[in-house]
């Protein structure tokens, strides 16, 4: 709007010059002493009107410049607001990820502490068992080793006797088996001899006597 006013064409300038007298026209006027007080007052009013018009034009140009600057500031504020919203979103995402990571690390640390505590309890139990074994070994009599060796010797003697008895039993079994085979051969031979010899005719009395 101000540009149109300041850079107007010839018609606009002619209209403005026709409405408000410029300083050149004021200088071209005849001597002020020859003018009447009414003309002087009129000239003063025209000068004031010209100054007011110039002030209005300056005010309009300044208002337009201010409007442009305000629009630029609004656009900058909008872009800054978008950047601020994006930064807040990124910060919120980062804080959420950090919170989740800290919770997971805390869970892992608690599990590791529980495992370490369990291992410590197991180690303590093992140490207690070792202490009990040491005390038990100290409480055993000194003659226990000699008794164990004596018992082992007796067991070895018994095993030797058992093996000798087993050998003799096996020998007797073999002897009995041989004797049984010999008796069986004799029985078989006797039966074959009896079958081969003729049998005499027996009387009824003699037949009945063996049955009785």
Same-domain check for residues 13 and 85: yes
Output the six-digit token pair for 18: 């026709």
Does residue 144 sit within a domain?
no
Residue 197 forms part of a structural domain: no
pLDDT for the residue 26: 41
Residue 204 lies in a domain: no
- Domain count of the fold of the chain: 2
Specify the residue for token string 């303590």: 124
**How many CB atoms neighbour CB 49 within 10 A?**
13
Structure tokens at 20: 């408000």
Instruction: List per-residue pLDDT tens for the chain, 212 residues long.
Output: 434 433 434 343 333 333 344 444 444 444 545 567 777 888 888 888 888 888 888 888 888 888 888 888 988 999 999 999 999 999 999 999 999 988 888 888 888 888 888 888 888 888 888 888 887 777 666 666 677 788 888 888 888 889 888 888 889 888 898 988 888 888 888 888 877 765 554 444 444 444 43
The b-or-e profile of 101-135 (16+ CB within 10 A means b, else e) is eeeeeeeeeeeeeeeeeeeeeeeeeeeeeeeeeee
* Contact criterion met (CB below 8 Å) for 21 and 39: no
CB–CB of 6/61 below 8 Å? Answer: yes
Are residues 180 and 122 both part of a single domain? no
33 within some domain: yes
- At residue 143, the pLDDT reads 64
Range of the domain at 22: 2-130
Provide DSSP, 8-69.
Answer: --HHHHHHHHHHS--HHHHHHS--GGGS-HHHHHHHHHHHHHHHHHHHHHHHHHHHHHHHHH
**What does the pLDDT read at residue 33?**
52
């Amino acid at each position: 709007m101000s540009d149109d006013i300041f850079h107007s064409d010839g018609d606009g300038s002619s209209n403005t010059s026709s409405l408000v007298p410029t300083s050149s026209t004021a200088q071209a006027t005849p001597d002020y002493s020859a003018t009447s007080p009414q003309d002087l007052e009129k000239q003063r009013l025209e000068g004031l009107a010209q100054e007011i018009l110039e002030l209005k034009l300056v005010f309009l140009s300044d208002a337009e410049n201010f409007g442009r600057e305000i629009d630029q500031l609004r656009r900058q504020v909008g872009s800054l607001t978008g950047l601020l919203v994006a930064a807040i979103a990124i910060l919120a995402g980062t804080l959420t990820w950090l919170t989740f990571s800290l919770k997971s690390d805390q869970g892992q640390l608690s599990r590791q502490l529980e495992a370490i505590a369990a291992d410590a309890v197991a180690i303590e139990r093992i140490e207690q068992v070792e202490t009990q074994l040491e005390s038990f070994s100290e409480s055993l009599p000194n003659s226990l080793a000699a008794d164990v060796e004596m018992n082992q010797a007796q067991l070895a003697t018994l095993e030797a006797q058992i093996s000798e008895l087993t050998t003799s039993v096996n020998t007797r079994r073999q002897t009995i088996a041989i004797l049984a085979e010999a008796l069986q051969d004799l029985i078989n031979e006797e039966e074959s001899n009896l079958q081969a010899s003729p049998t005499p005719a027996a009387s009824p009395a003699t037949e009945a006597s063996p049955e009785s």
